[in-house]
Amino acid sequence: MPPLTAPPTIHEQVAVAAPKHDKLIQILIESEYSSSALHESAVFIATLQSHIAEQQKLVNELDTQRVHDKISHQRLRDSSLRRIAFNVTGKKDDFAERLAREERQYLDSIQELTKAQRGLKILQDQLAEAQETHNGIVAAGAKRKAALQELDELYESIFSGPTYGFPEEDQAELALAEEEHTLEATRTKLEKERKAYAKLEKAGVQLNKVVDYVIEAQMASLRGMDSLGGDVMDKEERAALTSAISHIGFYEGLLQAAKGLVPEVVGIGPVDIPKPYYRGDPYQNNIMREKKFHTLIVGCRQLLGQEVTRLKENKKSSKGRIEKLGSDIDRLQRGLVAAGDNLRKVRRGVFDSIVKGLPPY
C-alpha cells in the first residue's frame, strides 16, 4: 500500500501559483484604464456620429443648391433668345453683368460645397480613428475580464472553504455567499410576482366578461318586467347569468393561483351571482317576484363594482412590489460586485503576505 501523502498546504499552493498570479496582476494593472475609457470612448463616438449626420445633411443641401445654380447659369449662358432680346433693347451690358453674377453664384456654391465636404471628410477620419481606439479598449476590457476570472479561479482553488490562520478571508467569503443567496432569493421572488401579475391581468379579462354578462342579464330583466316576462327575455337572462357564473369561476381560479404565488394578493370578495331560474320557477312571469330577482341582479352588479376596484388595488400593489424588487435587485447586484471585489482584495492581501515569507522563486 503506497504511503499516504498530506495535501499541499496553502503556503505550498501559493508558491506554485505565484508566477501565474504575478502575470495576472500585471494584466489587471495594464488594463485598469479600460472601464472608464470605454464609456468615454463610446460617448465620443456617438458625438462624432451626430456631427457627421449634421455635416452630411449640410453637404446634401449645398449639393442641391450647386446643381440648381449650375442649371440656372447654363440656361442663361446658352440662351440665344435672351441674348438677342437684351441686344435689341440695348441692354447688352446688363446681360453680361447678369451672366457674370450667376457665374459667381455658381462658383461660390461649388466653393461652399467643397469646404463642407472637406469638413465631412475630417469628421469621418476622426470617427475611423476613434473606432479603432475603441476597439483596442474593448479588447483590453475583454482581456481584463478574462484575467479577473482566472484570478478568481486561482484564489478559489487555494482559499475556498475555511482558511486556517486567515479569518478575514473566511469573513469576506461568507459575506459574498450571503450576498449571492439574498440576490438569488430576491430574483425568485420577483419572478413569482411577475407571474402573479400576469394572472391578475388574465383575471381582469374574466372579470370584465362577468360584468358584461351581469349588465346583459339586468337589461333582460328590465325588459322582462316591462312586458310581464316572456320566454325570450327569460332565455336571455338565463344565458347571461349562466355565462357570468362560469366566468366568475375562471376569475376566482386565476386569483387563487396568483395568491398561491404571492400571499399578499387579496382574494375574491363577496360576489353572489343570482342563479338563473327556469320554467316553473317561482320568479317566472310573476311581476313582484321578478322585481325581487331584479334587485338581486342590481345588488350583484354593485358587488362586482367593488370587486373591480379590489382587482385594481391588487394590480397596483403587485406593480409596486415588482418595482421595489427590481430596485432591490439593482442594489443587491452592486452589493454583490462590491463583496466580490472585497474578497478578491482580501485574498490578494493574504496571497502577498504569504509570498513575502517564501524564498525567492
Tens-digit pLDDT profile for residues 35-51? 889 999 999 999 999 99
Name the least confident of 91-95, 100-104, 119-123, 248-252: 91-95
Do 142 and 209 belong to one domain? no
Do 153 and 230 belong to one domain? no
pLDDT digits (tens, 9 = 90+) for 333-351: 999 999 999 999 999 998 8
Do 272 and 195 belong to one domain? yes
- Residue-number span of the structural domain to which 15 is assigned: 10-160
Do 136 and 199 belong to one domain? no
Neighbours of 87 (CB within 10 A): 11
Higher pLDDT, 224 or 323: 323
Name the least confident of 141-145, 181-185, 282-286: 282-286
Do 131 and 201 belong to one domain? no
Do 212 and 283 belong to one domain? yes
Do 190 and 100 belong to one domain? no
Residue reference for cell 498546504: 9
- Give the pLDDT of residue 190: 97
Do 218 and 150 belong to one domain? no
Higher pLDDT, 330 or 361: 330
- Give the pLDDT of residue 80: 44
Phi, psi of 6 (to 5 degrees): -70, 145
- Residue 48 and residue 249: Cα distance in Å, rounded? 60
Confidence of residue 275 (pLDDT cuts 50, 70, 90): confident
| Percentage of the chain lying above the pLDDT 90 cut | 56
Name the least confident of 9-13, 121-125, 348-352: 9-13
Mean pLDDT, residues 97-103: 67
- CB under 8 Å to 192, separation ≥6 — which residues? 261, 262
Q: Domain tally for the chain?
A: 2
Give me the chain's average pLDDT, please. Answer: 85
User: Rounded to a whole number, what is the largest CA-CA distance in the chain?
Assistant: 128
Q: Does the pLDDT value for residue 181 go beyond 60?
A: yes
Do 83 and 135 belong to one domain? yes
Q: What is the CATH number of the domain that holds 269?
A: 1.20.1330
Do 298 and 215 belong to one domain? yes
- Give the pLDDT of residue 91: 52
Name the least confident of 113-117, 208-212, 280-284: 280-284
Do 190 and 74 belong to one domain? no
- Give the pLDDT of residue 361: 42
